[in-house]
Amino acid sequence: MTQNRTEIIRDNYDRIAREYAHRLFRELDHKPLDRQLLERFAASVQGCGTICDMGCGPGHIACFLRSTGAEVFGLDLSPQMIAQARRLNQDIEFREGNMLALDLKDNALAGITAFYAIVNIALESLPQVFREMHRVLKPEGLLLLSFHIGDEVIRPEELWGNRIDMEFYKLQPDRIERLLGDAGFAIEEVIERDPYAPDLEFQSRRAYLFARKPAVNA
C-alpha cells in the first residue's frame, strides 16, 4: 500500500469518524459470538501483559476488553477516529499508528485484536502487516483477527451519506492462514459465521482467526 493510498484511507475515515462512532460503538451488544471470542481471547492473555486493539475505530473493542479486566490500548490510522475513541472511552489510551510500520518495540505485546482492521489493505501489503504484528508480540503472544470472507473488492461511493473513496477487501481464510504462517504465526483456530441481521451489519460471511507467535524454543 503506497503512502498515497495510506493517506487516502486516513482521510476517508477522518471524514466518517463521527457517524461511524454513532452507528457502531454499541454493535457488540447485538453480537454474542464476537463477545464470546473476545472473552476467550482476554482470558488467554490474562496476566501476560498489554493488549493492543489495532484498527480500533471508536474504541468499542478496547472498551469491551477493558470490561474483562484486560490491560489494553487502541491504535488507529485516523486521527478523527482516535478523537472519537478518546471521547467515548476516557479511561483507555488511544494512539495514532500505521500497521505497516508500528511504532512499538519488539516483543512488546501479550496480544493483538484486529477486528476488520485489514479490510482496506490490499493483499500484497498484508505480509508486511502480519510481519509487524509478529514482531511486536511477545513469544506465545496471541492474535485474534477478523475479516469478511470472499474474493470481491467492493468500492462503494458513499457510506451513511458520506462520499468515500476506498476499497473494501473480502478475503479467503486459507489465504490468510498461509500469509500468517509465512510471517511466523502458528494458526490455532479459524471460526466462521453467517452475518447477523441486515439491520445490524453488512451482509457478509465472517471469519475469526486465532494465531499465536511461537515460544522462543518452539
> For 119-144, what is each residue's pLDDT tens digit?
999 999 999 999 999 999 999 999 99
Helices (H) and strands (E) in the chain, counts: 6, 11
User: How far is 1 from 132, CA to CA, in rounded Å?
Assistant: 14
Q: How confident is the model at residue 3 (pLDDT cuts 50, 70, 90)?
A: low
Instruction: Answer yes or no: are the C-beta atoms of 5 and 69 closer than 8 Å.
Output: no
Residues 6+ apart with CB under 8 A from 186: 211, 212, 213, 214, 218
Tens of pLDDT along 72-112? 999 999 999 999 999 999 999 999 999 999 999 999 999 99
Judged on CB neighbours under 10 Å (0-12, 13-18, 19+), 176 is buried
Answer yes or no: is pLDDT of 2 > 50: no
pTM over 0.85: yes
Sketch the domain layout of the chain as residue ranges: 3-212
Domain at 3-212: CATH code: 3.40.50.150
Q: What is the pLDDT of residue 218?
A: 54
Q: What is the largest CA-CA distance in the chain?
A: 52
> What string of H, E and C letters represents the secondary structure of 115-180?
ECCCCCCCHHHHHHHHHHHHHHEEEEEEEEEEEEECCCEECCCEECCEECCCCEECECHHHHHHHH
The per-residue pLDDT for range 175-187, each reduced to its tens digit, is 999 999 999 999 9
Mean pLDDT of 49-65: 97
Q: Tell me how far apart the alpha carbons of residues 153 and 29 are, in angstroms, rounded to a whole number.
A: 28
